[in-house]
Amino acid sequence: MDSWTVTSALLLAGFISSAAFNHFDTECYTANGEDYRGFQNQTSLHGGKPCLFWNETFQHPYNTLKYPNGEGGLGSHNYCRNPDGDVQPWCYIADHEDGIYWRYCDIPSCQMPGNLGCFKDSGDPPTLSGTSETSNKLTIQNCISFCRKQRYKLAGMESGYACFCGNEVDLHDHGESPSMECNHVCFGDHTQPCGGDGWVIIFDTRVGACGGNYTDPSGVIYSPDFPDKYGAGRVCYWTIQVPGSSAILFNFTFFDISDQTDMVELLDGYTNQVVARFDWRSPPRELVNITGDFVILYFYSDRTNQAQGFALLYQALRSQDTRTTDAERDDEDEGEEVSSTAGPQLAGGVTERANSTS
């Protein structure tokens, strides 16, 4: 498991100081970074254009006057955001050269767990050498599901419509590139990135699976079909069992459940007793700390509405970690609530900004 996952969990739990956590390392959990709440305020870290403040962009569609309640992460700041569900975070810039007044932000850390990166496809040899298919309705999860059913570990999308499967990537022959090379929209979902011309975006096929078994000390679990909307009639179980741990800490970094019938539950793995239950009326608003080393995650969806789902980060704690947590929490201000959820979807979306650009 990547080191950032552990660091993020410890940061959210209050184990380490946020000052020690580089503010450019704020991760995105959705495929397009719609929930990015990091602090990058220029289009790239090296030689990028400075971003304008959202409370000073009244001549453009997205500003704090039109969206005064923090919708989409907008506010009195100039950090990159994705308020319209585009393929990645962006910001307005002062440069009007060629009529362009906004640009995508190249944020190296803005990459959901399970997204292994953007790789050059020279075709000789191919980046992923397994089965492939093309579709004018391709989405990230369509490709992942296609490869997972054939027992491949990796799924790659290219040019918005091509899906490739494989079990390994030769990094020597296929060097990784900035994510902006892979932001061609998926033909089946224009809010998702599906590679580029000659560039393949690659995902672990465990992303969006309906169930699974986790034994690592930390990890990320996504709702079924993620980053697509979860399907109807889903009943999924994940087991999180980490022998030797005294408790397991859970943080929902993203949560979008459509109606009160759909639900997520956390159960004690030994007794099957429900410890926490969440739905659209009662979303998770803080960390959930469950004593023991065995937890079952349960998800149910009915046959009506579907939504984006959830992303869940877990961290197993040893006895020493638990004591440290209690001690450090005593030093924190009472009533402080730790929560990280995506901002609401705004009407108009990409079309509004694209029309204004033209």
State yes or no: pLDDT of 23 exceeds 90: no
Q: How far is CA 232 from the centre of its chain?
A: 21
Residue 336: pLDDT band by 50, 70, 90 thresholds?
very low
Min mean pLDDT across 48-57, 115-124, 330-339 is at 330-339
Neighbours of 273 (CB within 10 A): 8
What percentage of the chain has pLDDT greater than the value 70? 80
Q: Are 116 and 177 in contact (CB under 8 A)?
A: no
pLDDT attached to residue 323 = 45
Rounded to whole angstroms, what are the CA distances from 33 to 16, 55, 113, 332, 355? 25, 21, 12, 30, 22
Q: Which helix (H) or strand (E) element contains residue 116?
A: strand 115-120
Nearest to 201 by CA among 288, 104, 128: 128
Neighbours of 149 (CB within 10 A): 10
Question: What's the sign of the alpha-carbon dihedral 79, 82, 87, 93?
Answer: negative
State yes or no: pLDDT of 311 exceeds 60: yes
pLDDT attached to residue 24 = 35
Nearest to 82 by CA among 74, 192, 222, 340: 74
Residue-range domains of the chain with CATH: 25-112 (2.40.20.10), 115-204 (no CATH), 212-318 (2.60.120.290)
Nearest to 340 by CA among 3, 31, 34, 4: 34
pTM of the model: 0.75
pLDDT digits (tens, 9 = 90+) for 156-199: 999 999 999 999 875 555 566 767 889 999 999 999 999 999 99
Q: Are 14 and 332 in contact (CB under 8 A)?
A: yes
State yes or no: pLDDT of 27 exceeds 90: no
State yes or no: pLDDT of 317 exceeds 70: yes
In order, the DSSP letters of 219-249 are: EEEE-TTTTSPPPTT-EEEEEEE-TT-SEEE
Backbone torsion region of residue 323, taken as left when φ is above 0, otherwise alpha when ψ lies between -120 and 50, otherwise beta: alpha
In degrees rounded to 5, what are phi and psi of residue 46? -125, 105
In degrees rounded to 5, what are phi and psi of residue 203? -125, 150
State yes or no: pLDDT of 149 exceeds 50: yes
pLDDT attached to residue 312 = 92
Residue 130: pLDDT band by 50, 70, 90 thresholds?
very high
Cα(219)–Cα(183) distance, integer angstroms: 26
Cα(97)–Cα(172) distance, integer angstroms: 38
Residue 10: pLDDT band by 50, 70, 90 thresholds?
very low
